[in-house]
Amino acid sequence: MASKKITIQYLDDSIPRLEYIGGKSDWVDLSAAETVTLRKGEFKLIHLGVAMKLPEGYEAHLAPRSSTFKNFKILQTNSVGVVDSSYCGKGDWWKMPVYATEDTTIEKGSRIAQFRIMEIQPTLEFEEGELADKDRGGFGSTGVK
């Protein structure tokens, strides 16, 4: 697969420079751009210190790192953030919307998020009709084991 170029604007020189570590992960880590202290039940948009111009025809998926909840007791409130290529202005800073499940402090530079880019889906055509296939049972119907 050919590499794609992403133009990155950093908030300041203290923000860790992004790097893709081939063979280790397909995702790129993002860090908190400020120290944030949250009380249990508090919501905050945590600044990630970057704004980006994605390649045309691509979007980014932003998710917490697997250790984020264990280390900081925060949940990303929108589950997965989707950033399309139109979000590329000078002030379009990436932020992570979080909810604190306990009192916590996230130190500046803590790796709390990760992203990857993917091609946007093809244009879809929707056709109204009645489905004739057999029901599978609905969400959550395949069992727990």
Q: What residues are paired with 105 via a beta bridge?
A: 37
The number of CA neighbours under 13 Å toward the Cβ of 69 is: 9
Residues 6+ apart with CB under 8 A from 77: 43, 97, 98, 99
- Check 12, 84, 92, 103 and give the catalytic one: 84
Would you state the structure tokens that stand for residue 58, as one six-digit string? Answer: 């691509």
84 is catalytic: yes
DSSP string, 9-51: EESSTTSPPP---TTT-SSEEEE-SS-EEE-TT-EEEEE-SEE
**Residues designated as active site:** 84
